[in-house]
Amino acid sequence: TDPILELRDLEVHFDTFDGRARVINDVDITVDEGETVAIVGESGCGKSVTAETIMGMLPQPPGEIVDGELYYKGEELLGDQTAHERVKSESMGMIFQDPMTSLSPVFTVGEMMRDVLTYQGKTNVGWLEIVRNVLGRRDADEAEMRDRSVELLDQLQIPDPEGVLDRYPIELSGGMRQRVLIAMAMLGEPEFLIADEPTTALDVTVQDQILDLLTEQIERENLSMLYITHNLGVARRIADRIYVMYAGEIAEVGTRDEILDEPLHPYSRGLVDSVPKLTEFDRDGIEGLLPDYTDPPSGCRFHPRCPAAMSGTCDVERPPRYELSSGQEVACHLYEDGLSRAEAAEIAAE
Ligand code: SF4
Ligand code: MG
């Protein structure tokens, strides 16, 4: 299958009070047609910045795309804002966290304000008005828009879809609002969905229902999706392939089972081992453990935390992404010699 989306050599810097932060360093991501790809990593690892870049929503300044290309069905978008806008409105659907349920200390005021502005998650506006704004079609035929909205709300198992269209967001539960947000992403009949932690603020049961409904939509419409999450359980439910991100770089890429059952990169191994802890960490913010992006560690960015770090190598040379015979790719010096999966697994077990 052909890739629908290809991100190459992405490098993003931010101007901060402490200097220039090199947040995304040389990131490559490919999503094939019909494939669901997850990017997993701790909060602060750069996964949202990557998503924002793909959606053309990176705030510039303070962000700056220093290098990189983004191809959507072969068409380059990063250098062409008009093309990017067109592809977004014609082909991409974006699903975010419901700004009303994400009022938590995990998010900065800036993040929340941006979410609210972007998704029009205002309490004093009815759904139909929000849909209109999101579609950018204030003059859209009301009856047609209503029919299509009702059909989608119904597919997402929202009771009384007609009635919901005339309600305000604050009148619905968080889970119902998240369903509406998915319906809104589907309204433009996208081929490609991008989701940034949409279920994080919901309790596990509701999260499960939402993921089921999302999976149904994907299968029904044969969509491709890039799904950003810190939650490995969510990645297991939804992803065909997984990119593990650490400190603005891709640490490892493989199929869902490779990454979650037999991770090879020392960081992925730590991540998979610490699943219960990670969720707690993330709530409190794990940022303190990530490096300072204005002065990232030399060589492998993970070396100060890596139990397998080799001094003289890991602190000096940045590891390239080595491809194993299985197709799995690992950015780690341990896998330098084009190993087979079995040999690699043996190293990982040490
Ligand atoms: Fe650890 Fe070195 Fe591999 Fe980085 S390159 S993950 S420091 S062993
Ligand atoms: Mg984020």
Of 244, 218, 210, 249, whose CA–CA distance to 230 is shortest? 244
Q: What is the pLDDT of residue 125?
A: 61
Q: What is the pLDDT of residue 78?
A: 94
| Residues 326 and 209 grouped into a single domain | no
CB atoms within 10 A of CB 317: 12
The sign of the dihedral angle between the CA atoms of 147, 149, 150, 152 is: positive
| Residues 273 and 340 grouped into a single domain | no
Tell me, what's the ipTM? 0.94
Instruction: Compute the distance between CA of residue 171 and CA of residue 281 in angstroms, rounded to an integer.
Output: 32
| Residues 267 and 220 grouped into a single domain | yes
| Residues 231 and 335 grouped into a single domain | no
The pTM assigned to this predicted structure is 0.86
| Atom 5 (ligand 1) nearest CA | 332
Q: Which ligand sits closest to the CA of 307?
A: 1
Q: What is the pLDDT of residue 287?
A: 37
If one residue of 25, 267, 334, 347 were mutated to test the ligand 1 pocket, choosing by the most ligand atoms within 8 A of its CB, it would be 334
If one residue of 250, 301, 306 were mutated to test the ligand 1 pocket, choosing by the most ligand atoms within 8 A of its CB, it would be 306
| Residues 110 and 238 grouped into a single domain | yes
Q: Of all helices (H) and strands (E), which one includes residue 70? A: strand 63-72
CB atoms within 10 A of CB 106: 16
Q: Of all helices (H) and strands (E), which one includes residue 272? A: helix 266-273
| Residues 315 and 216 grouped into a single domain | no
Beta partners for 93?
193
Tell me which residues have their CB closer than 6 angstroms to ligand 1: 265-266, 300, 302-303, 306, 308-310, 314, 319, 332-334
| Residues 309 and 290 grouped into a single domain | no
| Residues 230 and 124 grouped into a single domain | yes
Provide the Cα torsion 106, 264, 204, 173; round to 10°: 50
Where would I find the beta strands (DSSP E) of 217-270?
A: 224-229, 241-246, 249-255
HSE-up (13 A, CA, CB side) for residue 217: 29
Q: What is the pLDDT of residue 252?
A: 96
Instruction: Compute the distance between CA of residue 156 and CA of residue 340 in angstroms, rounded to an integer.
Output: 44
Q: What is the pLDDT of residue 156?
A: 84
Question: Reduced to 3 states, what is the DSSP secondary structure of residue 308?
Answer: coil
Q: What is the pLDDT of residue 278?
A: 45
| Residues 305 and 239 grouped into a single domain | no
Q: Measured in angstroms, how far is the CA atom of residue 330 from the centroid of ligand 1?
A: 10
Instruction: Give me the number of domains the chain comprises.
Output: 2
| Residues 64 and 53 grouped into a single domain | yes
Q: Measured in angstroms, how far is the CA atom of residue 47 from the centroid of ligand 2?
A: 6
Question: Reduced to 3 states, what is the DSSP secondary structure of residue 205?
Answer: helix
Ligand 1 atom nearest to 310, measured from its CA:
2
Share of the chain above pLDDT 90, in %: 38
The domain containing residue 323 runs over which residues? 297-350
Q: What is the pLDDT of residue 284?
A: 36
| Final residue before a domain boundary, out of 281, 296, 311 | 296
Which tens digit of pLDDT belongs to each residue from 230-286? 889 999 999 999 999 999 999 999 999 999 998 999 999 888 887 554 444 443 333
| Residues 52 and 63 grouped into a single domain | yes
Q: Which ligand sits closest to the CA of 96?
A: 2
Q: For the chain, which ranges sit under pLDDT 50? A: 104-105, 107, 113, 116-117, 119-121, 277-288
| Residues 216 and 310 grouped into a single domain | no
If one residue of 246, 271, 322, 332 were mutated to test the ligand 1 pocket, choosing by the most ligand atoms within 8 A of its CB, it would be 332
Task: Write the CATH number for 62.
Answer: 3.40.50.300
